[in-house]
Amino acid sequence: MYRSAVYDEPLLNELEEKRNNTYTPVDVLPSSLQRKEKINIPDLDETQVIRHFFRLSQMNFGIDSGMYPLGSCTMKYNPRLCEEISRWDSFAMTHPYQDESTIQGNLQIMYELEQLFCEITGMDCFTLQPAAGSQGEFTGLLLTRAYHESHHDFERNEIILPDTSHGTNPASATMAGYKIIEIPSTKEGTVDLEILKKTLSSKTACFMLTNPNTLGIFESGIEEIAKIVHKAGALLYYDGANINAIMGKAKPGDMGFDIVHLNLHKTFSTPHGGGGPGAGPIGVKKKLETFLPIPRITKKKDTYYLNHDYPKSIGKIKAFYGNFSVLLKAYIYILLMGRDGLKESSEIAVLNANYMKKKLIDSEKYDLPYKELRKHEFVLSCERLQKEKGIRALDIAKRLLDYGLHPPTIYFPLIVKEALMIEPTESESKRTLDEYIKALIRIADEDISSVKNAPSNTPVRRVDEASAIKKSLLTWTSLQEK
C-alpha cells in the first residue's frame, strides 16, 4: 500500500493540498461537540510525563525483577526468544479478519499446538480459544452441560469440588449455572473417597479436581476416583494449572479425566493474562469433541481451515480463535524444550519446591501440615508464630517486601491456618532459593514491631487492603476537587 502511494499521482496531489491547508481539529469539529471550558487535567510537559511513568515502572515488581513464588498462580520466566519471535512482523501484523489462505502459517502453528497439547495431556482434542485458565473452566462446564443434555440427562445440576480447590473452580461453576458441593479432604490432604462416594448422585454433573492438588500433593487415589465418578454418570474435570508438576511423567488423559484446562502462563512460560490476553486451552476426550467451541482448526491435505461446521458446538467463547501471540509463545517454548526438556522442567520444579520445603521445616520456624511428600508447591503454616508472637502470614508477606522479595500466596488453600503457599518454579537458581529461605527464617526471629509494621522501606507502606477493595478509587481526581 505504501509503495503504490509513491507512484499514485492524484493521491500525492491530494496529500500536498491537505498539507497546504492547515486545518486544526477545532476547524472541523461541529461547535456542539466542542468543549466550552478548560479541561480539568494535569497540565504537564512531555519530560514530566515520561519521568512520572518511568518512575512508576521502577516501583513495579515483575518476574524480571525477582523471584515470584506465588503458589498456585505462580509466574515464571518468559524466555526472551519466545517474546522476540512473537513480535516478528510476519506474526504480529497478521489480522484475524484476513482470509484463511493468507494465514496458513498461523493456522498450522495452532493446529500443531493442539496436537502437542494432546500428546502432553493424553486428551483426544483441544480448543485454544479460552483467554485464561478460569475461562477454560467455564468452557469445560458448558461442555459438561452440553454433554449431559445430549444424553437427555437434564437433572445434573451439581458440581462437586474438594475443599482444596482453587477459588476460580466454584466461581466458574456458579457462572455456568451449577450448584456447588464442597467436600472436605482427608487428614492426608487428599480427596476423601468415602465422602466422595456418598456425595455423588444422579444430580452430579462433574467432579472438578487438580492433581497434584493445591497443597502440592499428588492424588494417588485418582484411578479409583475416576471409576466412581464415571459410575455415577458424571464427568471428571482436570484443573490443569498444576500440570507443570507432572509433565512427561503422567497424563491426565490416562488418569481418566474427561476435560482438562491448561494455564499456559504456569507451565508453558507465557505471560499471565490476569484477565487480559492470556490463554487457557482445554482438551477433551472424543465423546465431548462435537461440543467444542467454533471455529475449530481442521486440516485437509496440506491446507488448514477455520471450520464452523459443528452444529452441536457450544458456540464461540472468545473472539476469533483465542490470543494468538500467547499461543505462539507456548508453541515456541514447547519446541525449544522438546520432550525431555519439558519433563526436566517438571523435575526441577518439584526438586526446587522440595528443597525449600525441607530447609524451612528444618529451621523449625514454620510447620508443614498434611503429608510431607510434595510436588511443585508446598503450603506452610505460621500458626505457631501467630500463637507465640502474634505474627501472622500477612505480616510475613509484608516484611518480605522490605527484603525486596515478592511474597508467596497467603491464606490459601483455606484448609491451612495462616498459610504461606510457595511455588518456586523451575526457573530459579539454588542461590535465589537460598536467599528466599534465609529471609523467611530471619523474619521469624525478628523483633515483633518491625514485622508488624512492615513494609517500612517500600514506596507505599502497609495499605488498608479491605478499604482498598471496598472503596476503590480508580480514576484521577484533581487536588481542587478533593
Ligand X SMILES: Cc1ncc(COP(=O)(O)O)c(C=O)c1O
H helices of 324-447, in order, are 324-362, 383-389, 393-402, 430-445
Question: Among residues 76, 166, 365, 398, which is the contact residue for ligand X, using CB under 6 A?
Answer: 166
Q: Pick between residue 121 and residue 168 the one whose CB is nearest to ligand X.
A: 168
Task: Please tell me whether residue 453 adopts helix, strand or coil conformation.
Answer: coil
Residue 415 CA to residue 418 CA, distance in Å, equals 9
Query: In whole angstroms, how close is the CB of 288 to ligand X at the nearest point?
Result: 20
Query: In whole angstroms, how close is the CB of 133 to ligand X at the nearest point?
Result: 3
| The dihedral sign for the CA sequence 452, 409, 427, 279 | negative
Query: Which residue do the cell numbers 466458574 mark?
Result: 172
Residue 104 CA to residue 304 CA, distance in Å, equals 6
Q: Is 244 in the site for ligand X (CB under 6 A)?
A: no
Question: Among residues 278, 293, 408, 424, which is the contact residue for ligand X, using CB under 6 A?
Answer: 278
Q: SS3 string of 239-271?
A: EHHHHHHCCCCCCHHHHCCCEEECCHHHHCCCC
Q: Is 263 in the site for ligand X (CB under 6 A)?
A: yes
Q: Pick between residue 270 and residue 454 the one whose CB is nearest to ligand X.
A: 270
Q: Is 293 in the site for ligand X (CB under 6 A)?
A: no
Question: Among residues 103, 120, 128, 133, which is the contact residue for ligand X, using CB under 6 A?
Answer: 133
Q: Pick between residue 232 and residue 242 the one whose CB is nearest to ligand X.
A: 242
- Degrees to nearest 5, angle at CA 192 with 190 and 197: 145
Q: Is 425 in the site for ligand X (CB under 6 A)?
A: no
Q: Is 139 in the site for ligand X (CB under 6 A)?
A: no
Site string for ligand X, 76-115 (x = CB under 6 A): ----------------------------------------
H helices of 363-410, in order, are 383-389, 393-402
Q: How far is CA 426 from CA 67, 221, 230, 268, 341, in A?
A: 11, 27, 35, 12, 11
Q: Pick between residue 402 and residue 423 the one whose CB is nearest to ligand X.
A: 423
Query: In whole angstroms, how close is the CB of 134 to ligand X at the nearest point?
Result: 3
- All 3 cell numbers of residue 236? 471428571
Query: In whole angstroms, how close is the CB of 373 to ligand X at the nearest point?
Result: 19
- The footprint of ligand X on this chain (CB under 6 A) covers a number of residues equal to 16
Q: Pick between residue 268 and residue 304 the one whose CB is nearest to ligand X.
A: 268
CB atoms within 10 A of CB 267: 28
Q: Is 210 in the site for ligand X (CB under 6 A)?
A: yes
CB 406, CB 397: distance < 8 Å:
no
Q: Pick between residue 134 and residue 185 the one whose CB is nearest to ligand X.
A: 134
Question: Distance between terminal CA atoms of the chain?
Answer: 51
Q: Is 322 in the site for ligand X (CB under 6 A)?
A: no
Q: Pick between residue 72 and residue 232 the one whose CB is nearest to ligand X.
A: 72
The residue nearest ligand X at its CB is 133
Q: In what order do the strands lie in the sheet with 204-209?
A: 125-127, 282-284, 259-261, 235-239, 204-209, 158-162, 179-183
Question: Among residues 209, 241, 350, 356, which is the contact residue for ligand X, using CB under 6 A?
Answer: 241
Q: Is 134 in the site for ligand X (CB under 6 A)?
A: yes
- The contact set with ligand X (CB under 6 A) reads 72-73, 132-134, 166, 168, 210, 214, 239, 241-242, 263, 266, 278, 280
